[in-house]
Chain A
Amino acid sequence: MTDLATRHGAAADHGTSFRPGIDWEHVVRLLVGALMLAVALVIIVLPLYALLSQSFEDHEGNFVGLANFISYAQDPILRLSVFNSLWVAVLTVAIVVPLGFFFSYALTRSCMPLKGLFKGIALLPILAPSLLPAIALIYIFGNQGYLKWLMFGHSIYGPVGIIMAQVFHCLPFVVLIMTTALATADARLYEAAETLNTSRWRVFWTITFPSVRYGLINASLVVFTTAIVDFGIAKVIGGKFNMLAIDVYRQIIGQANFQMGAVIGVILLFPAVLTFIVERVTYKHQTSQLTARAVMLQPKPSRGFDRLMLLAVAVLAVPILGIIGTAIFASFVTLWPYNLSFSLANFNFGAFDPGGWLSYWNSVEMAAWTALFGTIMAFCGGYLTEKHRRGSRVLLGYHIVAMVPLAVPGIVLGLGYIFFFNMPSNPLNVVYGTMTIMVMCTIGHYYTVPHLMALTALKQIDSEFEAASQALGVSFWTTLRRVTVPISIPAIIDIATFFFVNAMTTVAGVIFIYGSTTKVASIAVVALNDTGDEGAACAMAMMILYTSAGVKLLQVIATRLLLHRQQQWRSSLREA
């Protein structure tokens, strides 16, 4: 023991004199932060700026003020689109939010069996492109649909089909938000109500409903925005029914009227911006009912109630499975509805579309790159924002930019990409028409949710880790590598899966910027549907679903294995 003093004697001598050198940590932090901000600006803000400025210019690029907006307002057909989009979105909200709430209520507040299975079914649509329900609905209720008689002479092409497909497409969002909101409740409130002899109905309206009010507002806003800006569904099943997202496509692709397209793009920003503001405002008013001492509510078994809930959930699951089942069936038959014999011909994509299987592999490639770079960016950015934000304007700026995509529909961002990257003066226009721009656009489009996922995961890690390693003389990147990343692996896998699945299913974001060699599967579905090859379109849409589902399954298995292996040290993280 005594020799330690001598061993440290040497260190002690020059330990007392400091060598003030460059603070490399500070430099690295600043450089990486600036780089992140620059990339975020290029993939999110600059394209939007290009779109905005385009909407105030004429064909020659002269500033014309609001002239484009005025001529838009004077066009009765275009005006009708605004109205159509609005009422379709409102009706979708009115149908899907109560359904989703009911579904979530059964999943969280009853003791019905098979909860996992039914939650899985409700979330299934998230793995499919929005085109899938639209195509499947045509098979069910279309001109040759097997349940056409249920339409009583009405046509599925138009608002009816759009709303039905939207309900299918949006249900997972509502279920995700509402199961989270309903899962956290203070059992003591319910016990108090019970001791006061309160009826179940009154308990619902005085305790349950107020506690999930903000969840409901959130879910409604998400559905409303999704329904207004969605492009794929209206494109496939909308028929002659005009909606805003379709108008953008027509103005740009059909009439090459970029200014008018930009104007509609700007209009499409409104609902999402509004959503964003409403959410911020309600978030501030939201006081958590859950204090640290709350006791988690565990539903009590009740035979009658549980059976009723199981029955109701099963009834709701039928159309979801029906739609997906129809798509699977349609993809395997020779020629619907004339020849229903089994065939793999629909998967021979080369026979229908020159792109063939290449579009599918393009999708996988794009999704993989998006997952790789998107995850690295979102996690690094989230790390810097959460752990090193104090006093850094660069990181504050980055955080604000990262929140922007939440308010930007894919089709609007895609449009901005045309304007920004197609400018001859832009040195970045070399990426135009390549896989790179597709990956950039997809990362930008879906950036906010992973950013927030990373922030949430990192918030749960003790904020003193950085300070502790600084005091120990260990650089922050060493602690990031040895501690923060290993702890966050489940969140990182989550983020990667989110990017991958969304990149597989996106249509709107990339429809304007794909090139002949970078056409992806979801675009191929639109094209196949346009040319009347519904069977092949179904097959391609199903390929997307299979791939997303496979990746999702992989995520679940990988996370399980990981958590099992690291059980020893992870057990405490959950308590903290």
Chain B
Amino acid sequence: MLDTSRSAAHLTHNGNGAASAAPFLRITGIDKHFGSFRALSNVTLDVQAGEFICFLGPSGCGKSTLLRIIAGLERQNAGMIHSLDQDISDLPPAQRQFGILFQSYALFPNLNVRENIVYGLRNRRMRSAEIDSRLNELIELIDLKGSEGKYPAQLSGGQQQRVALARAIAPSPRLLLLDEPLSALDAKVRVHLRQQIRDLQRRLGLTAIMVTHDQEEALSMADRVVAMRDGEVEQIGTPTEVYHTPRSLFVAGFVGKMNILPGRVGGGRLSIGSLSFAMPAFYDTPENQGEVIACLRPEQMRLKAAGAADALPARVMQLEFLGSFWRATLVVPALGDAEISVDLTSRDMADMPVAIGESVGVALPEDRFAVFPASQSGQVRESVRQ
């Protein structure tokens, strides 16, 4: 297999004790301010070798700044960065040996594909035969054989980004940093390229950190997602953790669609409208007492026939066709006449067609509620404003 990475992946894979003690990258207490604006405060994060991490958050949340600090392109005001127990906080970018893929590609327009890819190799005292074989491998890797002599202007956006990727990994970086690498591309190309990048990262055993504001991109690519808001880390977890058990209302609202209902917690029970049931264990915490906000994802509810035993009576107010599924807006009297959205697959719709104005039943999975203190209610607007 092609090992272009200088990462310590092999150490962890070998189960070596020393390597598992020190994470590949340890970020501790990073602060950054521009004038009076706090871009980052007290960001702490460990990255394991071979991991694919996504920084996810709305624009202005500090995720790009954090990436640039890791790269050494910005200087943090406080905090440390260690790599395998070595302090790299003050190293200039060149000495960190990290590859970066930029949103704008940053391909040199006056150099052709070949010259762009080998740009970082030329001053490494590599023999030209070595450079050539390396170039051929990379060209094959990004599937651009025959285009070595073309200039960036003669390539499509997706091809340009692939050349930029080859250029970034050519000098065998220890870590690959991707700054919104796909946001300038068409939707179709984006999906294709995100699989390619992920595939390449796995095959080469690269450690990678990607910045994105696209939750779908983060969920589909990352081993772990770092959700950020206002310069602070809100949650670190696997995509399923972040999606199913968000730690704050902001994360809940930013990642996917949420139904948001006011509720009360007392004596380990959550009550919404006239309903009352046991508090979901994950959210049964000291701060979730009294007034709370309960959230439930639209795809986790099921529509049933009106009057079904395990369902609440509801009325269909709106139906929206969204291609692969339908989204129905219901009014549920038992929830205090609250409006909720429920997603129906095409098959659901075929099994039990519903129409606007009809009475139906809706089943709520009580253990799937996410619950947050009412004091976070301001975060709803923030996460939806994107």
Contacts and interface: CB of A to CB of B under 8 A. Distances in A.
A533 B104 CA distance: 62
A473 interface: yes
Interface in B59-106: 68, 71-73, 75, 84, 86, 88, 90-100, 102, 104, 106
B171 interface: yes
Contact of A470 (B8, B93, B112, B170): B93
Interface in B93-151: 93-100, 102, 104, 106, 108-112, 119-120, 122-124, 130, 133-134, 137, 151
Contact of B106 (A2, A25, A462): A462
Contacts of A483: 108, 110-111
A19 interface: yes
B152 A17 contact: no
B171 A5 contact: no
B187 interface: no
Interface in B355-381: none
A482 B100 contact: no
A182 B123 CA distance: 48
- Interface centre among B84, B134, B152, B153, by most A CB within 10 Å? B153
A208 to B, nearest CB: 35
Given A462-B106, A478-B123, A572-B152, A5 B2 contact: yes
A467 B124 contact: no
Contacts of A468: 100, 102, 106, 167
A471 B177 CA distance: 10
A19 B90 CA distance: 12
Nearest to A12: B6
Contact of B104 (A12, A23, A391, A462): A462
B154 interface: yes
A2 B109 CA distance: 32
A573 interface: yes
Nearest to B164: A468
B168 interface: yes
A464 interface: yes
B6 A11 contact: yes
A370 to B, nearest CB: 28
Contacts of A570: 109, 153
Nearest to B100: A471
A114 interface: no
Interface size class for chain A? 35 or more
A391 B6 CA distance: 32
Contacts of B171: 472-473
Contacts, number: 131
Given A465-B108, A486-B110, A15 B94 contact: no
A551 B6 CA distance: 54
A467 B154 contact: no
B259 interface: no
Interface string A470-485: 1111110011001100
A26 interface: yes
Nearest to B150: A568
Contact of A1 (B2, B102, B109, B177): B2
A184 interface: no
A205 B68 CA distance: 49
B106 A7 contact: no
A478 B137 CA distance: 25
B110 A566 contact: yes
A467 to B, nearest CB: 5
Nearest to B74: A390
17 contacts: A1-B2, A4-B3, A4-B4, A25-B94, A26-B92, A464-B102, A467-B68, A467-B102, A470-B94, A471-B99, A472-B119, A472-B168, A474-B119, A483-B108, A569-B112, A569-B151, A573-B153
Given A4-B134, A473-B124, 14 more contacts: A8-B6, A8-B172, A11-B6, A12-B172, A468-B167, A469-B119, A470-B73, A471-B73, A471-B100, A472-B167, A475-B123, A569-B112, A570-B153, A572-B109
| 8 nearest CB pairs, A to B | A472-B120, A572-B153, A464-B106, A569-B151, A5-B3, A470-B93, A471-B100, A468-B106
